[in-house]
């Protein structure tokens, strides 16, 4: 993977040179721009013009999704987020960044892997890790400008250093296009051949195909779904002893898809007999077609988010499973107004979804689990891209992945973007938002790729 010289910038704006290495040390805030200047990708869509729903195979395969890639997650004791900075209406002036807040720390830092154009966004995923360690985070660059393939990088030290690799094909433009298995192998959903699942073999530069969309669609499980596109991948933890053979095997992949058959949620896993469907029952979902938007495994189990499309409306349903042998449990459906802009798992079974249009988040929807109805928390501060658990007594005293009380989501933080500045806001359980003292400023040179 070719690297360019990156600049390490601290909060006061002092700049130092980072060396050309495979593992690149990142100090303070790293400014990442493009490796090539040129015209915008003609197949692209404006940054912030979000849609996470797979409307057609062509929409997934041909167009980088400039939004819907904003997300937050926890890896070990750290909180992570992917946000877009700059002029979000212009591809060349939009720069996606990866932020981290170490466990117990009040402040965020930008730790984006340097040396590659980040205008197309990231697909990123973190392993649960330990209660005190940072866990492993894997980030794949979405193609943009003249970049037709996807560089990929992983870190096990909180973003201080990254190990780099490449995928010959571009990643599918979905948030969960990469996942790390317990043994260190990485799974990736790529665009080649109409969509395929790859697995790394020893490094992030050697890959083999596990299954293609066409091959999966030819199976009995695939025909029952009518697969339009692959939309998410997850690497669950090992199945417990005595788990039935139809449960996902240790270190096996789970796939999410967009289905053309009504009433079917496209979730698949690899069993001893091959790829099979994971049965999911969505109450009142018989008349809708479903697209799996998110699919994530953690210490508390696996969760998924699916969008349902009916004749006159769109809806969201959240799904949870305590372990590989357990059945999926569905939340009540909630009507979707606009598009899903970002998501956050707040621990245990609590899930938060930011919805809106363009780059504007208009509502926050929260559910505490299968027995909890969705609840609107109202709009976040203007410019909020992702929502994460706030540091403090309510969150720092609980272990990572601890269930959130069903009464409410607790203290929340919002990362609010205005141009090249990120301001951290905090929400009290009363629902009132207020800015904190923390601001991150990235001195972006608009119109430049360096």
**Residues near 44 by beta carbon (within 8 Å), at least 6 away in sequence:** 63, 64, 66, 91, 120, 144
Burial of 14 (0-12, 13-18, 19+ CB in 10 A): exposed
Structure confidence at residue 238 (pLDDT): 52
Interval 375-387 mean pLDDT: 94
Distance CA 416, CA 422 (A): 5
- Hunting for tokens 């979730």 — which residue is that? 267
Least confident of 27-31, 140-144, 293-297: 27-31
pLDDT in tens, 110-130: 999 988 888 889 999 988 665
Distance CA 291, CA 317 (A): 10
Structure confidence at residue 54 (pLDDT): 39
pLDDT in tens, 143-199: 988 888 999 999 999 999 999 999 999 999 999 999 998 888 999 999 999 999 999
DSSP 3-state assignment of 157? coil
pLDDT in tens, 201-217: 989 999 999 999 999 99
The third-level CATH classification (topology) of the domain covering 28-34+50-239+246-441 is Neuraminidase (2.120.10)
Q: What is the helix (H) or strand (E) element at residue 393, kind and residue range?
A: helix 393-396
* Model confidence, pTM: 0.81
DSSP 3-state assignment of 414? strand
Least confident of 53-62, 199-208, 239-248, 436-445: 53-62
Interval 308-312 mean pLDDT: 88
29: tokens are: 């805030």
What is the domain partition of the chain in residue ranges?
28-34+50-239+246-441
CB 229 within 8 A of CB 195: yes
Closest CA to 231 of 262, 264, 267, 263: 267
């Amino acid at each position: 993977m070719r690297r360019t010289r990156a600049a390490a910038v601290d909060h006061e704006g002092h700049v130092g040179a980072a060396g050309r290495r495979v593992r690149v040390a990142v100090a303070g805030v790293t400014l990442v721009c493009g490796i090539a200047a040129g015209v915008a990708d003609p197949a692209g869509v404006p940054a912030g013009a979000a849609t996470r729903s797979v409307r057609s195979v062509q929409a997934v395969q041909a167009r980088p999704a400039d939004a819907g890639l904003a997300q937050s997650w926890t890896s070990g004791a750290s909180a992570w987020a992917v946000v877009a900075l700059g002029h979000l209406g212009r591809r060349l002036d939009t720069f996606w960044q990866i932020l981290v807040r170490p466990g117990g720390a009040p402040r965020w830092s930008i730790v984006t892997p340097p040396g590659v154009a980040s205008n197309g966004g990231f697909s990123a995923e973190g392993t649960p890790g330990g209660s005190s360690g940072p866990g492993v985070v894997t980030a794949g660059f979405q193609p943009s400008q003249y970049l037709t393939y996807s560089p990929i990088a992983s870190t096990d030290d909180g973003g201080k250093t990254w190990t780099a690799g490449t995928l010959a094909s571009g990643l599918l433009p979905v948030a969960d296009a990469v996942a790390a298995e317990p043994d260190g192998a990485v799974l990736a959903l790529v665009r080649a051949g109409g969509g395929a699942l790859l697995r790394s073999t020893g490094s992030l530069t050697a890959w083999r195909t596990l299954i293609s969309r066409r091959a999966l669609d030819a199976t009995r499980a695939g025909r029952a779904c009518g697969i339009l596109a692959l939309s998410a991948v997850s690497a669950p933890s090992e199945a417990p002893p005595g788990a039935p053979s139809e449960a996902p095997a240790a270190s096996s992949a789970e796939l999410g898809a967009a289905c053309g058959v009504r009433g079917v949620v496209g979730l698949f896993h690899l069993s001893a007999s091959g790829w099979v469907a994971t049965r999911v029952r969505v109450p009142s979902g018989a008349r809708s077609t479903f697209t799996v938007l998110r699919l994530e495994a953690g210490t508390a189990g696996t969760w998924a988010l699916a969008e349902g499309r009916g004749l006159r409306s769109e809806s969201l349903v959240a799904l949870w499973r305590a372990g590989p042998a357990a059945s999926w449990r569905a939340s009540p459906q909630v009507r979707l107004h606009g598009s899903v802009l970002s998501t956050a798992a707040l621990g245990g079974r609590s899930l938060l979804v930011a919805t809106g249009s363009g780059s504007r988040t208009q509502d926050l929807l929260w559910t505490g689990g299968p027995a909890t109805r969705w609840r609107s928390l109202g709009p976040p501060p203007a410019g909020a891209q992702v929502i994460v658990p706030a540091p403090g007594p309510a969150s720092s005293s609980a272990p990572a992945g601890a269930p959130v009380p069903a009464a409410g989501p607790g203290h929340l933080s919002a990362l609010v973007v205005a141009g090249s500045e990120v301001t951290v806001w905090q929400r009290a359980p009363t629902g009132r938002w207020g800015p904190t003292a923390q601001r991150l400023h990235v001195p972006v040179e608009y119109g430049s790729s360096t």
